[in-house]
Structure 1
Amino acid sequence: MWALIFSVGYIAGMDSRRGTVFTTGDGRTAIRFERLLRYPPEQVWQAITDPGRLSAWFPAVVDLDRPVGSELYFAVTAEQQRRYGMADDPDRKPNGRLLRSEPPTVLEYEWAGEILTWEISPTPAGSRLVFTNVLSDPEAARPAAAGWEAGLEVVEAQLDGAPVTWDPLARAEELAAAYE
């Protein structure tokens, strides 16, 4: 059903809504999502890097507009503080690093021992977005996959100019069953 609702923003029938959980060559657990979108790479890049857009779906507050190699601080969001009682580091000690930034095609960063890679390539109909999250804890695969899928739904809605009328955190909880 969700594929039908969100088919406006991606090319229907060409990608799966679910992330793929797999083992990397070095034995780590990773999640991979692919989306075929009807928007050029520059617009997709903005959707995954603009702080105003990130605040609607990304599970941290971070400034990605930094030189490659820069330390990053991923702060707890206000909603995470409210909903889950999560606390931010008062010292704001860096917990990540920007590894690659090649607008509008590749963004890669390390966050708390995990590697997140966003690859955007042009297609005749728009863009192909491939997101891979190499996890530090294999047990986190199910909830992380559900969270990223919910986040990507928001990204697609933003690209379409559609209002986000649902709670992405509640949507992630709903999607978690699909990854059992």
Structure 2
Amino acid sequence: MSFDPGPLAEATVAGDGEQWSLIFVRALPHPPEKVWAALTERTRLDQWAPFAAARDLSVIGETTLTMVDGPDRTDLPATVLRAEAPTLLEYTWGDDLLRWELAPADGGTQLTLRHTFAKRDEAPMFLAGWHLCVAVLDRLLAGDPVGVIRGRDAIAYGWDELRAAYAEKLAG
């Protein structure tokens, strides 16, 4: 399969030494309602996200997100904290917090992901992973799905290069 993950997204990291938040911003040429459905519907999540969801994420409350890495599965507790269609989705994922903000922009959506976590040095890895996931999401929404790319499979699609490039971007 031919897959180009595209250029680096706008990305920054801020924190206080105890918690860090990466901010990943990407323009998608799809309406917020379509992006929202892909962020919340269990069957769509399984086509682009790094995890499988036990239920749709459009309803506040407890759930499980299962990390998928080849044959390995790791269940992590999750709680949907906010689900304001089609503009804001916020949930925990293990010890991390994910906040997806969707804003109409130029006939599409400006997607902003704020991922809060504990170890600053993990930021380039998370950015590389989210970059690939959102590139897969974009293709899925465009009707040209490439199949989910997650876990160790991401290495074959440029994850190492993206991690290094985001590390350089954050250092500069």
Q: What's the TM-score, normalizing by structure 2?
A: 0.78
Are the aligned partners of 2:23 and 2:113 in contact in 1 as well (CA < 8 Å)? yes
Distance change >3 Å, CA 60–CA 156, structure 1 → 2: same
1:1-180 map, 5 Å: 17-24=8-15, 28-62=19-53, 63-65=55-57, 67-68=59-60, 70-77=61-68, 80-82=69-71, 86-88=72-74, 95-164=77-146, 167-168=149-150, 169-170=154-155, 171=157, 172-180=159-167
Give the root-mean-square deviation of aligned CA atoms: 2.6
Gaps of 5+ in 1: 8-15
| Sequence identity (%) | 28
- CA spacing shift, 1:26–1:56, aligned 2, 3 Å: same
Structure in which a larger fraction of residues adopt strand: 2
Q: Give the direction of change, closer, same or farther, for the CA distance of 1:167–1:173 in structure 2 (3 Å limit).
A: farther
Moved over 6 A (4+): none
Answer with 1 or 2: which has the greater Rg: 1
Gaps of 5+ in 2: 168-172
Q: 1:159 to 1:73 in 2, by over 3 A?
A: same
**Distance in structure 2 (CA, Å) of the matches to 1:141 and 1:26:** 13
Compared CA separation, residues 26 and 141, structure 1 to 2 (3 A): closer
TM-score, normalised to structure 1, is 0.75
